[in-house]
Amino acid sequence: MSFLGNRNTSTAYRIAPSILSADFLRLGDEIRAIDSGGADWVHFDVMDNHFVPNLTFGPLVLEAIRPITS
């Protein structure tokens, strides 16, 4: 096996769209669209304004949308 892996085996891919570009006024609908579209995961770009200069969302948003995902 090399650094790139064994090319004789199949690779399992996961689809994980980010909600960073979602319309936050319609976040519930956006999450449902990701879920019904067959995505494996939802990607959260958590930025805390400490390690990066941006501030996005954190655990409260994750907790709020968890009930509407499968």
Per-residue pLDDT for 3 more than 70?
Answer: no
Q: Phi then psi for 45, rounded to 5 degrees?
A: -90, 90
What the block records as the tokens of 7 is 């090319």
Which range has the top average pLDDT, 8-22, 25-39, 55-69? 25-39
Tokens found for residue 20 = 């960073």
- pTM surpassing 0.75? no
Separation of alpha carbons 29 and 31, rounded Å: 5
Q: Is residue 6 scored above 60 in pLDDT? A: no
Per-residue confidence at 38, pLDDT binned at 50, 70, 90? very high
pLDDT exceeding 90 applies to what percent of the chain? 31
Count of residues for the chain?
70
Percent of the chain with pLDDT over 70: 86
